[in-house]
């Protein structure tokens, strides 16, 4: 009984996503530098987007049954074709949500970088521990 390579790769992908999630949460919560926090938040956002794309697969692709784009190619579609299509087609909703999340994430990242730059100009540091001790 050999291990299926597709199952192995899928499990590796999921474990990597969770490890990436843990590392980025550590960076956001434990690192004192605002620059490192922004970088970790960007990695966290990318990890969440990748996880949303993975959730969009209704049936994980294999070499014998690759994913089907969400486009109906037979007009008019038969009932058997629609059953086959709905079982294998990639869900387009997570893809649309990820595109929206990428645009929003870019805007938030630019805003956080601007705030970090302004904090550095005012206080000459990006260390949140030193900024918390300052008054003014």
Return the CATH fold of 5-56+91-133. Answer: Helix Hairpins (1.10.287)
pLDDT digits (tens, 9 = 90+) for 23-64: 999 999 999 999 999 999 999 999 999 999 888 876 666 666
The DSSP output letter for 68 is B
Portion of the chain with pLDDT greater than 90, in percent: 59
User: Cα dihedral angle (107, 109, 113, 116), rounded to 10 degrees?
Assistant: 120
Domain boundaries, the chain: 5-56+91-133
- The SS3 of residue 33 is strand
């Amino acid at each position: 009984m050999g291990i299926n390579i597709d199952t192995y790769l899928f499990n590796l992908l999921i474990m990597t996503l969770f490890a990436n999630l843990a590392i980025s949460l550590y960076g956001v919560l434990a690192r004192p530098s605002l620059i490192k926090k922004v970088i970790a938040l960007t990695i966290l956002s990318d990890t969440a987007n990748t996880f949303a794309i993975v959730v969009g697969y209704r049936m994980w692709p294999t070499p014998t049954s690759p994913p089907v784009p969400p486009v109906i190619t037979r007009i008019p579609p038969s009932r058997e074709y629609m059953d086959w299509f709905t079982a294998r087609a990639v869900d387009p909703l997570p893809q649309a949500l990820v595109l929206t999340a990428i645009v929003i994430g870019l805007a938030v990242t630019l805003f956080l970088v601007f705030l970090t730059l302004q904090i550095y100009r005012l206080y000459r540091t990006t260390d949140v521990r030193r900024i918390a001790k300052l008054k003014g």
